Structure 1
Amino acid sequence: MGTQQENGVLLEQETLLAKPPPLYQVVLLNDDFTPMEFVVIILQEYFHKDRTAATEIMLQVHHEGKGTCGVFPKDIASTKVELVLSHARSHGHPLQCVMEEV
């Protein structure tokens, strides 16, 4: 807190530090049915990854069971999860996409 004088009156200032909102990582989960190429396309279309980065994330999902697509504010992460799930379902794939607080 600081102090300040205005017209002979002593004023106290409170310094409030706003905590930034939590961020969420969007994660793709491995399954044995969704084609690798479809995962690469999802990463390019919804997360704006170039072909090389999308392929690296897809391989991480394949080998490690999951891979992070990006980190976003809650609303954006939630929207991306819903878009990916909707796209996968509309193409008959069981791809799972979740968000986790960072």
Structure 2
Amino acid sequence: MTSTDSRTKEDVSSRTKKVPPPMYKVILHNDDYTTMEFVVEILVNVFGKSLEKATQMMLNIHNKGKEICGIYPRQIAETKVETVHNLASNKGFPLKSTMEKE
């Protein structure tokens, strides 16, 4: 028979440590139809980037094919991807956004 007092500090601390949630990268992909201006608008309004940073990122997307726009917990990443797709669709652009586990 064991008592609760017989727990070691290590036993208790290993159970109380909080494991951070898995994080997800949100990525924008280049296409031949979405305007550069719209991509900058998305980066500013959805991802909170400055105009200068958004312009730099848009050029990376254009030249390299894709760019990580942010790293978030799963639900936030899913919302960002969905927001990008909705805004792009409303403007008639096929802008693709994906997420992958960090």
- TM-score over 0.5 (shorter chain): yes
Deviations 1:63-95 (A, max 9, x none): 000011111000000000000100000100000
The higher radius of gyration belongs to 1
3-state DSSP of counterpart to 1:61? helix
> Larger % of helix: which?
2
| Unaligned 5+ runs, structure 2 | none
Q: Is structure 2 residue 86 aligned with structure 1 residue 93?
A: no
Distance 1:10 1:71 in 2: 42
Aligned to 1:27: 27
Moved over 4 A (4+): none
Q: How many residues align?
A: 95
| Unaligned 5+ runs, structure 1 | 1-5
Q: Is structure 2 residue 6 aligned with structure 1 residue 11?
A: yes
> Larger % of strand: which?
1
Q: TM-score, normalised by structure 1?
A: 0.87
Q: Is structure 2 residue 69 aligned with structure 1 residue 47?
A: no
Q: TM-score, normalised by structure 2?
A: 0.87
Percent sequence identity over matched residues? Answer: 44
